[in-house]
């Protein structure tokens, strides 16, 4: 029987988020400054073999049952289906968050390699606004990517929308209708202080109650029993599908969080908002055995704090933005 990767508050961690690259083909205002970021040298990025080794330790020793590939944009990593096939052999629920642009080319291969689920990030359904947010005229390509994911057999396909007051909060009803007619599950995400430009203030956050009220106005919903997943889910009363809300700011789910993260350059993070990291890459490349790596992972999780402290005076913003951490 696997050991448990548990913190001092008794939370058992079974969900691993892996950033496979820090690079992206968009420069979204939420993730990346207008001038872009300085990309990591290739030799500082974990190899597929290194990623798989860490994942294997976590699955075999600690019963991790969910792995999600993130970025940057994961599909810009060359030969991504090869990594998917390597990780699929571990037998977990293997998912990916992507901007969807490359899915028309990759969706079928990723599905065949063993990827089980896909989340596509899309913060506007209006071409001009989408271009303003991403600094690319790419909405049509993202929508094609959503269709490609569905055609490849991914079910459900989820669409992540970060809601920002005065920016795209007037599109909540549009996204509800999009999800219902397209057969995808939209997840509205509160704006978190991980933006690269540092524009975040609490005034830009549209909270879960307001989002839910607007969803109900568009189409009545009823709650689904909550799990350890980050989203509170609701089913449409007419049976046409589901919608989710991730209330990271206004209604934190820290007490049930079971996620840890491995960045593209091999830093292990026990929280999305962690201000310290454990250098797993250094251990891997120094010849550490599995026991030594496992001990470092256990120590990191054991030091995890109770919650992220957003909106409190003692909150410290992580030095990395979302694109560098992975979602």
- Tens digit of each residue's pLDDT (9 = 90 or more) over 121-171: 999 999 999 999 988 899 999 999 999 999 999 999 999 999 999 999 999
> Which tens digits make up the pLDDT trace of 22-74?
888 776 655 655 566 677 899 999 999 999 999 999 999 999 999 999 988 99
pLDDT on residue 40: 84
What percentage of residues in the chain have a pLDDT greater than 70? 87
Q: Mention the CATH class of domain 15-325.
A: alpha beta
CA 241 to chain CA centroid, Å, is 22
pLDDT on residue 196: 57
Instruction: Name the band, by pLDDT with cuts 50, 70 and 90, for residue 255.
Output: confident
Task: Say if residue 234's pLDDT is above 70.
Answer: yes
pLDDT on residue 274: 80
What percentage of residues in the chain have a pLDDT greater than 90? 70
pLDDT on residue 198: 62
pLDDT on residue 1: 42
- 135 exposure class (CB count in 10 Å sphere: 0-12, 13-18, 19+): middle
**Where does residue 179 fall: left (phi above 0), alpha (psi -120 to 50 degrees), or beta otherwise?**
alpha
Q: What is the pTM of this model?
A: 0.91
Between 33 and 179, name the one with better pLDDT: 179
Instruction: Name the band, by pLDDT with cuts 50, 70 and 90, for residue 304.
Output: confident
pLDDT on residue 222: 97
pLDDT on residue 39: 72
> Mean pLDDT, to the nearest integer, of 221-237?
90
Cα dihedral value 249, 242, 87, 296, nearest 10 = 20
Between 41 and 281, name the one with better pLDDT: 281
């Amino acid at each position: 029987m696997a050991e448990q990767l548990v913190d001092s508050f008794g939370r058992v961690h079974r969900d691993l988020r892996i950033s496979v690259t820090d690079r992206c083909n968009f420069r979204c205002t939420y993730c990346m400054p207008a001038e872009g970021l300085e990309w990591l040298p290739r030799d500082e990025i974990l190899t597929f073999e290194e990623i798989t080794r860490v994942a294997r330790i976590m699955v075999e020793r600690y019963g991790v049952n969910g792995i999600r590939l993130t970025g940057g944009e994961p599909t810009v990593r060359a030969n991504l289906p090869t990594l998917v096939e390597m990780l699929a052999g571990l037998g977990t629920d293997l998912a990916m968050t992507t901007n969807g642009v490359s899915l028309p080319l990759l969706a079928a291969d990723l599905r065949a390699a063993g990827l089980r689920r896909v989340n596509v990030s899309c913060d506007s359904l209006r071409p001009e606004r989408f271009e303003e947010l991403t600094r690319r005229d790419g909405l049509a390509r993202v929508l094609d990517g959503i269709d490609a994911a569905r055609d490849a057999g991914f079910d459900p396909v989820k669409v992540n929308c970060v809601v920002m007051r005065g920016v795209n909060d007037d599109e909540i009803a549009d996204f509800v209708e999009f999800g219902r007619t397209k057969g995808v599950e939209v997840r509205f995400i509160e704006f978190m202080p991980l933006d690269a430009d540092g524009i975040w203030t609490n005034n830009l956050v549209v909270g879960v109650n307001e989002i839910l009220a607007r969803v109900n106005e568009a189409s009545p919903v009823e709650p689904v029993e909550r799990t350890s997943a980050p989203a509170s889910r609701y089913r449409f009363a007419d049976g046409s599908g589901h919608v989710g809300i991730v209330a990271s700011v206004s209604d934190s789910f820290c007490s049930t969080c079971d996620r840890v993260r491995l960045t593209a350059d091999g830093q292990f993070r026990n929280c999305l908002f962690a201000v310290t990291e454990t250098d797993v890459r250094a251990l891997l490349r120094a010849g550490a055995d599995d026991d030594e790596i496992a001990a470092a992972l256990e120590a990191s999780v054991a030091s995890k704090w109770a919650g992220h402290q957003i909106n409190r005076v003692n909150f410290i913003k992580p030095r990395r933005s979302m694109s560098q951490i992975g979602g």
